[in-house]
Amino acid sequence: IGKDADMAILITGASAGFGAEMCRVLVHAGYKVIGAARRLDKLHHLQAELGAAFLPLQMDVADKSSVDSALASLQGTWADIDLLVNNAGLALGMEPAQEANYADWETMIHTNILGLTYVTRQILPRMIAKNAGYIINLGSTAGAWPYKGGNVYGATKAFVRQFSLNLRTDLAGTRIRVTNIAPGLCGDTEFSNVRFRGDDKQAAAVYENISYLQPADIANTVLWLYQTPAHMNVNNIEIMPVSQTFAGLSVTRD
Ligand code: 8X3
C-alpha cells in the first residue's frame, strides 16, 4: 500500500495510452486513483478492471466549466488530491507551419496549454492549504528538440516544461513538488492515430521496425517519481527509446 493511501491521485487523459496505464500501475501499487477523461465508457471499462480504488470522472480539460464542475463534484478523501498528473494532450498534423490547419493549432493550444492550466489552477490551492502534494506534467522531447512538422505541438510542450519550472519556483518554501516528464517516441497509444486523424497506416509507419517506449515505461516513471523521498524534486526528466537520439541537425544544400 502506498504511503498516502487515504489520499487520491488525479490523472487526466485517463481513457487511453499513458493515462490508462498510469491508472493501472498506481492502483496496483495501492493508491486511490481518479481517472479523468471525456470518454466515460472507456473509464467505466477501467473501473471494471481496477475496482473500488478507481473513480471515473468525466471531464473535458479544454472546457473550463467542465473542469470546474468535475473537480467540485469530488467528495471526501477523493477530493484530497495528493498527486495530479496532467497527462491529457494531443498532437494534430505534421504539415509544415504554412500548410497546417489553423483549427488544429487552436485545439492543441486549448488542450495542451489552457487545459493543463485550468486543472492546475483548481488543484493548487488545495495543495497549498495542506502544504503537500505533487504535480507531474507530461511534456515531450518535442518541447526541447525541434523537428519538421512539430511546430505548434512542440511549442505547447515547451510551455509545459517552462510552466513546470516556473510553478516550482513559485512553490519555493512549500513541500509541493513539480516534475516535467518529457517522453520521446512511444508506441502502443492513440497518439499517432489522433495526430494523423485516424489514418492507422500512417500511424503504424511511425513505429515500423523501431523499438519504442511503452506506456508502462512512462507509468512506472510516474510511480517512481511519486515514491521518491519527500525532500527530493526531479525538475525535468527526459526519456527516449534507445533507438532514438537527439542527433540530427539538418542542413540544406544549395
Ligand atoms: C511525443 C514525442 O517525437 O512524437 O510527444 O513528438 S514525438
pLDDT exceeds 60 at position 40: yes
How do residues 168-213 score in pLDDT, each as one tens digit? 999 999 999 999 999 999 887 888 888 888 888 887 887 788 888 9
Give the ipTM: 0.87
The pLDDT of residue 5 is: 58
Alpha-carbon gap, residue 237 to 22, rounded angstroms: 17
**Domain boundaries, given as residue ranges, for the chain:** 8-185+215-239
How many whole angstroms from 249 Cα to the centroid of ligand 1?
Answer: 17
How many whole angstroms from 240 Cα to the centroid of ligand 1?
Answer: 10
The residue whose CA is least distant from atom 6 of ligand 1 is 142
Alpha-carbon gap, residue 214 to 171, rounded angstroms: 32
CATH architecture of the domain 8-185+215-239 equals 3-Layer(aba) Sandwich (3.40)
Q: Taking CB atoms and a 6 Å cutoff, what residues make up the pocket around ligand 1?
A: 140-142, 184-185
Q: Render 69-80 in DSSP notation, one character per residue.
A: HHHHT--GGGG-
229 burial via Cβ count (<10 Å: 0-12, 13-18, 19+): exposed
2 — pLDDT class (breaks 50, 70, 90): very low
Residue written as grid cell 471531464? 59
How many whole angstroms from 142 Cα to the centroid of ligand 1?
Answer: 5
The pLDDT of residue 186 is: 86
Dihedral sign of CA atoms 234, 142, 114, 111 in order: negative
Alpha-carbon gap, residue 161 to 140, rounded angstroms: 8
Q: Which residues are catalytic?
A: 153
Alpha carbon 222 to its chain centroid, in Å, reads 10
Rounded (5°) CA angle 117-181-49: 85
pLDDT exceeds 60 at position 1: no
The residue whose CA is least distant from atom 5 of ligand 1 is 140
pTM confidence score: 0.94
The pLDDT of residue 149 is: 95
Q: Which atom of ligand 1 is least distant from the CA of 153?
A: 6
Average pLDDT over the chain, rounded to an integer: 94
Q: Summarize the confidence of residues 123-130 as an average pLDDT.
A: 96
Alpha-carbon gap, residue 126 to 235, rounded angstroms: 21
The pLDDT of residue 222 is: 98
The pLDDT of residue 201 is: 86
pLDDT exceeds 80 at position 228: yes
Question: Across the strands, what pairs with 138?
Answer: 181
Q: Which atom of ligand 1 is least distant from the CA of 192?
A: 4
How many whole angstroms from 128 Cα to the centroid of ligand 1?
Answer: 32
Weakest-pLDDT range from 47-51, 120-124, 169-173, 188-192: 188-192
Residue 185 in contact with residue 210, Cβ under 8 Å?
yes
- Most ligand 1 atoms within 8 A of CB, residue of 87, 108, 152, 185 to mutate: 185
